């Protein structure tokens, strides 16, 4: 007897049933027929369950959830979260426009980012965002000037760089002193007292965000300890802070990771906050990946099987332009056959795209029994998948579908090739 297969990330909403991979009650071959591949497919129930795990994580506490739009910015995803009462964390004026187009509330939107332009700051102030999370002393002065020009007082939080190691991939670690993010902790108090000299600013909080795909509680606690010290120090100097924003970054299961659940994380954070007498302070959290990551997959078909002298390759119709994480971070995401075969011709394949880069792979050394034309699903692709997609090699970006029970809703059209160069112009010939 063979041992039962472990549940797939995204289970129970993403699972094999009668030999076919299903998202909720929709079989993926049907979606491939209707919408083509490559195709991003999300489970509404999985997104909602992940969102509820956050909203139910700390009953009786003042926690405000601000979904990090950059993880998956499709309007349908944003509206779903807005309908669940979430606000948003944005990093550009483009994301602000998305939030508003999706019916999100600017007054529950925080604006993070290390390089906000004057135009973006003005757009955020005009829209009436909850606050700007400020990343440098010079940005503070710019915001003060722009707010003055608009006749407003700008609500600001300072994003502190607590210099803690999130123990994640270096490209997605953001709270180390060598990273570009935030104001060094040692200068934070001075920056807060400087705000008092800037007439068009209103200090509302303190923020930090130490990284992404964090799978342990300790880095958060380390960051929290530093934030707590700062809150005390700053408030002793006469500045009152309304909220504490601890950012996002909770990891998901791609392989065998066991990140803490939101309730476990918040339980640990509140134990510290209570001990510091800050348990009643409104808390903001900015989860992105943990809301959508396990709720989505990338559906792709095998174009060609080929072998070099050393390796077997499954060349598929999606590539690094559709899903960049493997190329960018050497990230591992599970790849499963939509209709698994009997395994008689199982080989170890590198699953690669058609882009002209050797870094263009979705998975390496995967045991799969494949024929050309087979459908594969790259799992845990709901976050930083479509959001990072590009048109490299003039490849139209994939369509996106949101499954809701037995229904499949197209939430983004497949791009048309002609649209990819519609904005280009030929100068007169000489
Ligand atoms: C990216 C980001 C987040 C979300 O991170 P996840 O790992 O997706 O939860 C939250 N806050 C800020 C400031 C970010 O840059």
Please give, one letter per residue, the 3-state secondary structure of 136-169: CHHHHHHHHHHHHHCCCCEEEEEEEECCCCCCCC
Residue 139 has pLDDT above 90, yes or no: yes
Q: How confident is the model at residue 2 (pLDDT cuts 50, 70, 90)?
A: low
Catalytic site positions = 356
Provide the pLDDT for residue 54.
98
Residue whose CA is at the smallest distance from ligand 1 atom 10: 248
Spatial contact of 249 and 213, defined as CB atoms under 8 Å apart: yes
Pocket residues for ligand 1 (CB within 6 Å)? Answer: 68, 70-71, 89, 91, 112, 209, 212, 247-250, 286-290, 383
Spatial contact of 206 and 157, defined as CB atoms under 8 Å apart: yes
Closest ligand 1 atom, CA of 212?
A: 7
Provide the pLDDT for residue 386.
98
Closest ligand 1 atom, CA of 291?
A: 9
Closest ligand 1 atom, CA of 211?
A: 7
Residue 10 has pLDDT above 70, yes or no: yes
Q: How confident is the model at residue 147 (pLDDT cuts 50, 70, 90)?
A: very high
Per DSSP, 180 falls in state: S
Q: What percent of the chain has pLDDT over 90?
A: 93
Indicate the top mutation candidate among 51, 67, 69, 71 to test ligand 1's pocket, ranked by most ligand atoms within 8 A of CB.
71
Indicate the top mutation candidate among 288, 325, 383, 386 to test ligand 1's pocket, ranked by most ligand atoms within 8 A of CB.
288
Closest ligand 1 atom, CA of 289?
A: 8
Provide the pLDDT for residue 3.
61
Residue 8 has pLDDT above 90, yes or no: yes
Residue 64 has pLDDT above 70, yes or no: yes
Provide the pLDDT for residue 165.
86
Burial class (CB in 10 A: 0-12, 13-18, 19+), 310: exposed
Minimal CA–CA distance to 398: which of 407, 383, 379, 385?
385
Closest ligand 1 atom, CA of 214?
A: 7
> CA–CA separation, 95 vs 73, rounded Å?
8
Distance 171 CA to ligand 1 centre (A): 13
Lowest mean pLDDT among 179-193, 201-215, 278-292, 371-385: 179-193
Q: What is the mean pLDDT of residues 383-412?
A: 98
pLDDT digits (tens, 9 = 90+) for 82-101: 999 999 999 999 999 999 99
pLDDT digits (tens, 9 = 90+) for 329-379: 999 999 999 999 999 999 999 999 999 998 999 999 999 999 999 999 999
Distance 248 CA to ligand 1 centre (A): 5
Distance 249 CA to ligand 1 centre (A): 5
- The model carries a pTM of 0.97
Burial class (CB in 10 A: 0-12, 13-18, 19+), 73: buried
Provide the pLDDT for residue 347.
97
Residue 411 has pLDDT above 70, yes or no: yes
Distance 370 CA to ligand 1 centre (A): 37
Distance 68 CA to ligand 1 centre (A): 6
Residue 91, both tokens: 């990093």
Residue 1 has pLDDT above 60, yes or no: no
Minimal CA–CA distance to 70: which of 130, 121, 29, 113?
113
What distances in angstroms separate CA 295 from CA 5, 14, 33, 132, one per listed residue? 19, 8, 21, 29
Indicate the top mutation candidate among 50, 81, 86, 89 to test ligand 1's pocket, ranked by most ligand atoms within 8 A of CB.
89
Residue 209 has pLDDT above 70, yes or no: yes
Provide the pLDDT for residue 174.
83
The structure tokens 């369509």 sit at: 399
Residue whose CA is at the smallest distance from ligand 1 atom 3: 248
Provide the pLDDT for residue 166.
85
Q: What percent of the chain has pLDDT over 70?
A: 99
Domains for the chain: give ranges and CATH numbers: 14-43+293-420 (2.40.37.10), 112-287 (3.20.20.10)
Distance 1 CA to ligand 1 centre (A): 44
pLDDT digits (tens, 9 = 90+) for 259-282: 999 999 999 999 999 999 999 999
Provide the pLDDT for residue 6.
78
């Amino acid at each position: 007897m063979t041992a039962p297969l472990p549940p797939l990330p995204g289970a129970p909403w993403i699972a094999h049933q009668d030999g076919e991979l299903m998202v909720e009650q929709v079989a993926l071959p049907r979606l491939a027929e209707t919408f083509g591949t490559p195709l991003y497919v999300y489970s509404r129930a999985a997104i909602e369950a992940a969102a509820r795990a956050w909203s139910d994580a700390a009953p009786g506490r003042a926690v405000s959830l601000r979904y990090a739009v950059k993880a998956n910015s499709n309007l349908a995803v944003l509206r779903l979260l807005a309908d669940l009462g979430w606000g948003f964390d944005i990093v550009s004026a483009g994301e602000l426009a998305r939030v508003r187009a999706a019916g999100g509330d600017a007054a529950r939107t925080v604006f993070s980012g290390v390089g906000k332009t004057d135009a973006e700051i003005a757009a955020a102030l005009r829209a009436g965002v909850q606050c700007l999370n400020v990343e440098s002393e010079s940005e503070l002065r710019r915001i003060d000037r722009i707010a003055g020009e608009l006749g407003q007082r700008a609500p600001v939080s300072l994003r502190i760089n607590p210099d803690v190691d999130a123990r994640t991939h270096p490209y997605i670690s953001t709270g180390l002193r060598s990273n570009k993010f935030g104001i060094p902790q040692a200068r934070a108090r001075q920056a807060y007292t400087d705000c008092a000299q800037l007439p068009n600013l209103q200090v509302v909080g303190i923020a930090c965000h130490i990284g992404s795909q964090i799978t342990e509680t300790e880095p958060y606690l380390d960051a929290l300890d530093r934030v707590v010290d700062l809150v005390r120090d700053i408030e002793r100097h006469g500045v009152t802070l309304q909220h504490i924003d601890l950012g996002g970054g909770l990891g998901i299961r791609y392989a065998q990771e066991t990140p803490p659940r939101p309730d476990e994380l918040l339980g640990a954070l509140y134990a510290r906050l209570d001990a510091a007498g800050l348990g009643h302070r409104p808390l903001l959290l900015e989860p992105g990946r943990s809301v959508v990551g396990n709720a989505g997959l990338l559906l792709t078909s095998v174009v060609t099987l080929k072998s070099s002298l050393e390796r077997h390759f499954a060349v598929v119709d999606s590539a690094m332009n559709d899903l960049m994480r493997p190329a960018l971070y050497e990230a591992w995401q599970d790849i499963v056959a939509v209709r698994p075969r009997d395994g008689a011709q199982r080989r170890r394949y590198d699953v690669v795209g058609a882009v002209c880069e050797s870094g263009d792979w979705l998975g390496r050394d995967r045991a799969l029994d494949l024929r050309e034309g087979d459908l594969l699903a790259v799992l845990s692709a709901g976050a930083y998948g479509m959001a990072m997609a590009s048109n490299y090699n003039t490849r139209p970006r994939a369509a996106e579908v949101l499954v809701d029970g037995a229904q499949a809703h197209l939430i983004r059209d497949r791009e048309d090739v002609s649209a990819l160069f519609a904005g280009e112009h030929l100068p007169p010939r000489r």
